[in-house]
Amino acid sequence: MTGGPATGKTVAVAQWFGTLGPIAREWVTLDAGDDRPERFWLTFVLALERAVPGVFAQASAADVHRLPPGFLDRLLTAWAAVEDPLVIVLEDMHHLQRPEITEDLGFVVEHLPGASRMLLTSRADPHLPVSRWRGRGWLAELRQRDLAVTLPETAELFTALGEHRLTTGQVGRLWSHTEGWVAGLRLAAAGLKDRADVSAAVAEFSGRTPMVADLLADELLHRAPKDVSEFLLRTSVADVLDAELCGALSGRSDSIEVLRRMEADLQFVMAAGPSRDTWRYHPLLAEMLRLELQTHRPEEVPGLNRLAAEILRVRGDIAGAVRGLLAAGDTDRAFSLVFEAAYRRADLSDIPGIAAFVNLFPRELVTESASRMLTYALMLGLAGQVAEAHAWLQRAQMRISDEPEPRVEDLVTLDALRLLTFTVTAGAGDEIDAGRRAVEAVEAGLNHGVAGARARMNLVRGYLLVDQPR
pLDDT, tens only, 85-119: 999 999 999 999 999 999 999 999 999 988 899 99
Among 24-33, 134-143, 169-178, whose mean pLDDT is lowest? 134-143
Strand partners for 86: 24, 116
DSSP-based three-state secondary structure for 347: helix
The three-state secondary structure class of 283 is helix
Q: How confident is the model at residue 62 (pLDDT cuts 50, 70, 90)?
A: low
Q: How would CATH label the architecture of 332-466?
A: Alpha Horseshoe (1.25)
Q: Where in the chain is the domain with CATH 1.25.40?
A: 332-466
Angle at 372 between CA 368 and CA 373, to 5 degrees: 85
Q: Is 203 a residue whose pLDDT tops 60?
A: yes
Residue at 192: amino acid letter: L
Residue 427 in this model has a pLDDT that exceeds 60:
no
* CATH class of the domain defined by 216-328: mainly alpha
> What does the CA dihedral 214, 216, 221, 224 come to, rounded to 10 degrees?
130
The secondary element (H helix, E strand) that includes residue 292 is helix 283-296
Which pLDDT belongs to residue 385?
87
- Point out the least confidently predicted range of 37-46, 165-174, 294-303: 37-46
Contact 88, 28 (CB under 8 A): yes
Span 134-140, mean pLDDT?
87
> Taking 80 as the threshold, does the pLDDT of residue 57 lie above it?
no
Determine contact, residues 67/37, Cβ cutoff 8 Å: yes
Q: Where in the chain is the domain with CATH 1.10.10?
A: 216-328
Span 48-55, average pLDDT = 91
Tally helices (H) and strands (E) across the chain: 27, 5
Stretch among 19-28, 194-203, 385-394 having the lowest mean pLDDT: 385-394
**Which DSSP symbol is given to 406?**
-
C-beta of residue 92 within 8 angstroms of C-beta of residue 122? yes
Strands (E), 104-214: 116-120
Reply yes or no on whether the pLDDT at 352 is more than 60.
yes
What is the rounded average pLDDT of the residues 274-278?
84
Q: pLDDT tens-digit profile of 373-399?
A: 988 988 888 888 888 988 998 999 999
pLDDT of 183 higher than 60 = yes
Q: What SS3 class is residue 241? A: strand
Higher pLDDT, 468 or 279: 279
pLDDT above 60 for 65: no
How far does the chain reach from its first CA to its final CA, in angstroms?
A: 80
Asked whether the predicted pLDDT for residue 239 surpasses 90, the reply is: yes
408 and 440 Cβ atoms separated by less than 8 Å: no
> DSSP readout, 362-392?
-HHHHTT-HHHHHHHHHHHHHTT-HHHHHHH
pTM assigned to the model: 0.78
- Strand ranges inside 45-100, DSSP E: 86-91
